[in-house]
Amino acid sequence: MSAAPPLLPQQSVEDYLNRPVLSGGKVVNGTQGMTIGQLEDDILQGGKFILFAWNFSMVIVSFRRSSPLTYVRSGDWSGPKALLWSAPSFVLGWWGFPWGVIFTISSLWQNSMGGKDVTAVVLRALVGPQRAEGILARAPKRSADPVLWLLRLACLAIPTAIVWLLVSAAESHRQ
């Protein structure tokens, strides 16, 4: 186990907290104009980092991917972003068997739950594990927004409709 990094002088901490939020040298989507200090404050009010799932299929091959890292600010809903990343799956995901159907349902369900919350991992990488744990311990849990409930209903309706169509086709074929 390695020793803890030395403490930074106060000026260095302030300089660090005034930096923009970067991932791979680019500003993280949703954090434009924010510093790391402002990000910490926003996470304490409910902001979070999310990955959304999407997939596409081409008859015999299916691919499942994640969106770029996205930050949803405390006053924003993640539902519209979830719908945006679910659209390719709705249109292009079903066409591979069996994985296209499995990946599509899985992607839609993950997005309907608000995406994959990776706030803890990102925050640990940005500010260190101890500071991140302190922030996360005080951060509130977010409730799902209405758009996510609509996406959840769609996730339940689609398999139900597929089963209904298969049963109807089987009954009409039997007659």
How far is it, in rounded angstroms, from Cα 46 to Cα 65? 26
User: Closest Cα partner for 51 from 78, 91, 77, 89?
Assistant: 78
> Distance from first CA to last CA of the chain, Å, rounded?
71
Q: What's the CA gap between 104 and 110, in Å, rounded?
A: 10
Cis peptide before 159 (omega within 30 of 0): no
- The one-letter amino acid code at 73 reads R
pLDDT lower than 70: segments of the chain: 1-11, 144
Cα 163 to Cα 170: distance, rounded to the nearest angstrom: 11
- Report the C-alpha gap between 115 and 148 in whole angstroms: 10
β-strand partners of 70: 29, 50
pLDDT of the residue at 9 = 52
pLDDT in tens, 74-89: 989 889 999 999 999 9
Task: Say whether pTM exceeds 0.75.
Answer: yes
Measured between alpha carbons, how far is 85 from 163 in angstroms, rounded to an integer?
Answer: 25
Q: Where are the domains of the chain?
A: 10-174
Structure-token pair, residue 96: 């591979």
Give the CA angle between residues 145, 30, 100 to the nearest 5°: 65
SS3 5: coil
